[in-house]
Amino acid sequence: MSLENRIAEIIVSRLNVKPEEVTDSASLKDDLGADSLDMVDLMMDLEDTFNLKISDEEGNTLQTVGSVVSFLKTKGIEA
Amino acid sequence: MNLNATAVVTGAARGIGLEIARKLISVGWTVAALDLLEDDLKKSAEELGESYKPYTVNITDSKQLAEVAVAIGNDLPAVKGIVNNAGVTRDALMMRMSEDQWNLVIDVNLTGTWKVTQAFMRSLIRAREGSIVSISSVVALVGAAGQTNYAASKAGLIGMSKSLNRELAGRGITVNVVAPGFIETEMTEKLSEEVRGNYLSRIPAARLGLPVEIAEAVAFLMSSSAKYITGIVLPVDGGLTT
């Protein structure tokens, strides 16, 4: 499965949204309805899934689906 | 009845914690019983049967707690209840209280509760339901000479729970505090007649409470009847604080 698809799957299950809503430019908070607790839960899920640490500062930059994908790529995660 | 849900109960090997475990099992919970006292855990497991799952753990040890959380996550139904009951006392008048006495009581009663809650709360958040009950004490509300450490730790639980309630209530999770008064336990059995009489004179109900009366209150707050009750401190004290 591609990195994009794996991330989309996590977002769909955590935020209870439809797969077609999870586009590259979709804002996690504004478009997908994540509140602060969802964001923390999502970050912890990404940490567990991809076995990495996400600092609070890094977490704050993850505003859109696309930014999550590119962030993980900068961490060397491809799939 | 089987709720197919696990309640983590700390200090569940004996005393009030054991009564809470017994009551929760009777209404369908699986209980993950956390305690330091391995022998008492074994004895209670023999008595309460297979819904009582004993785990020997020191709740001040984050590493041990993380391991137990993984084991419980793998082996038991989803955790939907947390009962923070474990506690210790190290009484001394403040002038004579050592820093060790202060630290131990804060570490176990307050920081330990924070650690246990943090270790298991994600399961409740995922389930979008559940309840967290922390056992405080009337001493948090009225104070007691010789217990500045204990009262501070138990009052700390109230502020912690009220704040956590604001984080979690939107997820269908209730966060409450039960504040027992003077309860018949091994601890109060050891009191002299004079001290006991002094307690009794302050309790409108004119008797000590029973552990099962605390357990009943906890089970109610964790039941579907109490879904809209959250962020409260419920004294179970025969009228002592009224």
Asked if the structure places residue B189 within a domain, the reply is no
Interface probe for A, chosen from B122, B163, B166 (most Cβ of A below 10 Å), is: B122
**In Å, what is the CA distance from B199 to each residue of B182, B191, B194?**
8, 10, 9
CATH label of the domain that carries residue A45: 1.10.1200.10
Per-position b or e across B213-225, b if 16+ CB within 10 A of its CB: bbbebbbbbbeee
- Structural domain contains residue B177: yes
- Yes or no, beta carbons of B122 and A35 under 8 Å apart: no
Within a domain: residue A37?
Answer: yes
pLDDT tier, B198 (very low <50, low <70, confident <90, very high otherwise): confident
Residue A21 and residue B178: Cα distance in Å, rounded?
43
Specify the number of domains making up chain B.
1
Contact B170 A37 (CB under 8 A): yes
Any domain includes B148: yes
Least confident of A37-41, B38-42, B131-135: A37-41
Catalytic center residues of B: 150
ipTM confidence: 0.79
Which of chain B's residues have a Cβ under 8 Å away from the Cβ of A35? 170
Instruction: State the nearest Cα–Cα gap between A56 and chain B, in angstroms.
Output: 18
CB-based contact B167 A37, cutoff 8 Å: yes
Chain A residues close to B126, C-beta within 8 Å: 41
DSSP string, chain B: -----EEEEETTTSHHHHHHHHHHHHTT-EEEEEES-HHHHHHHHHHHGGGEEEEE--TT-HHHHHHHHHHHHHHSSPEEEEEE---------GGG--HHHHHHHIIIIIIHHHHHHHHHHHHHHHHT-EEEEEE--HHHHH--TT-HHHHHHHHHHHHHHHHHHHHHGGGTEEEEEEEE-SB-SHHHHTS-HHHHHHHHHH-TT-S-B-HHHHHHHHHHHTSGGGTT--S-EEEESTTTT-
pLDDT digits (tens, 9 = 90+) for B163-175: 999 999 999 999 9
Instruction: Please report the pLDDT score of residue A79 as a whole number.
Output: 65
- In this model, does residue B48 exceed pLDDT 70? yes
B195 within some domain: no
- Measure Cα distances from A39 to A43, B12, B43 in Å: 6, 34, 43
How is residue B129 written in tokens?
């339901």
Does the beta-carbon distance from B170 to A44 stay under 8 Å?
A: no
Q: Would residue B25 count as lying in a domain?
A: yes
Task: Evaluate whether residue A70 is within a structural domain.
Answer: yes
Which pair of structure tokens corresponds to residue A22? 């999870």
Residues B175-200, mean pLDDT to the nearest whole number: 87
CATH number, residue B145 = 3.40.50.720
- Cβ atoms of B236 and B16 within 8 Å: the answer is no
Give the model's pLDDT for residue B189: 80
Give residue A14's domain range: 3-74
Q: B141 in a domain, yes or no?
A: yes
Residue B190: what pLDDT? 77
* Chain A residues in contact with B167 (beta carbon < 8 A): 37
Taking the CA of residue B87 and the nearest CA in chain A, the distance in Å comes to 29
Nearest-neighbour CA in chain A from B30: distance (Å): 26
Per the CB < 8 A criterion, the answer to whether A64 and A75 are in contact is no
Cα gap A71→A63, rounded to integer Å: 11
Q: Region B225-242: what's the mean pLDDT?
A: 96
pLDDT at residue B25 tops 80 = yes
Residue of A nearest to B127 (CA): A14
Task: Tell whether the model's pLDDT for residue B1 goes beyond 90.
Answer: no
| Inside any domain, residue B157 | yes
Q: Are A66 and A44 in contact (CB under 8 A)?
A: no
Catalytic residue among A24, A35, A41, A45: A35
d(CA B78, CA A46): 21
pLDDT in tens, A22-74: 999 999 999 999 999 999 999 999 999 999 999 999 999 999 999 999 999 99
> Mean pLDDT, to the nearest integer, of B36-44?
98
Interatomic CA distance for residues B38 and B82, integer angstroms = 20
Instruction: Count the domains in chain A.
Output: 1
A35/B170 Cβ within 8 A? yes
Nearest residue to B124 via CA among B165, B180, B185, B63: B165
Q: How confident is the model at residue B17 (pLDDT cuts 50, 70, 90)?
A: very high
Active site residue A35: yes
Q: Please, are residues B20 and B214 in contact by the beta-carbon 8 Å criterion?
A: yes
pLDDT of residue A30: 96
Asked whether residue B191 carries a pLDDT value surpassing 90, the answer given is no
| Over residues A12-22, mean pLDDT | 93
Quick check: is A15 in a domain? yes
User: Nearest C-alpha of chain A: how many angstroms from B125?
Assistant: 9
The boundaries of the domain holding residue B163 are 6-184+212-234
Other beta carbons within 10 Å of B4 = 11
Whether residue B193 is contained in a domain is answered as: no
Domain contains A79? no
| B170/A41 CB distance under 8 A | no
